[in-house]
Amino acid sequence: MNYKYKMEKVLDYRSNVEKHKVEDFARITQKLDQEKKHLDILEEKLDQKKKEVATDVNAMKMSFLYKEKLKAELTHQKKKVDDIFHKANDAREVLIEARKDRKIMELLKEKDKDKFQQEMLLKEQKELDDFTIMRFAK
């Protein structure tokens, strides 16, 4: 007699949920990395612009306006990175819960399988005992 876990579909479902949560988390962390790189680029541009020295009034005015634009972009990008960071943390928590749910089901499956094997051993032992008693009775 073969073992069949009666809650296999639930285990499969929880495994699929975990797989999707892993994909979601990977996608969010990849987006976070991209946005951090963009933030680094903006910071580098601002640092370079701060080091430049303008010679005439028009160049100074253009430099000032560009720096202000970069500062605004930098502020916006920092907020964006922070928001994505929080989303990544939330996705991590959801993933951890999904893993716990799957592992619980796997542990239940293992316990159920062990119980099944014990029952099969007891059944086999009983059959052997019955066979022995019948042989002895003859």
Q: What is the pLDDT of residue 136?
A: 81
H and E: helices and strands count for the chain:
2, 0
Q: What is the pLDDT of residue 137?
A: 78
Domains in the chain, number: 1
C-alpha to C-alpha distance for 28 and 33, rounded to whole angstroms: 9
> Tens of pLDDT along the chain (138 residues)?
789 999 999 999 999 999 999 999 999 999 999 999 999 999 999 999 888 887 889 988 998 999 999 999 999 999 999 999 999 999 999 999 999 999 999 999 999 999 999 999 999 999 998 888 888 876
Q: What is the pLDDT of residue 131?
A: 86
1, part of any domain = no
**What pTM did the predictor assign?**
0.77
3, part of any domain = no
C-alpha to C-alpha distance for 46 and 1, rounded to whole angstroms: 72
Give the Å distances, CA to CA, from 22 to 18, 26, 93, 128: 6, 6, 11, 50
2, part of any domain = no
Structure tokens at 135: 């042989």
C-alpha to C-alpha distance for 10 and 101, rounded to whole angstroms: 10
The domain of 46 spans: 8-137
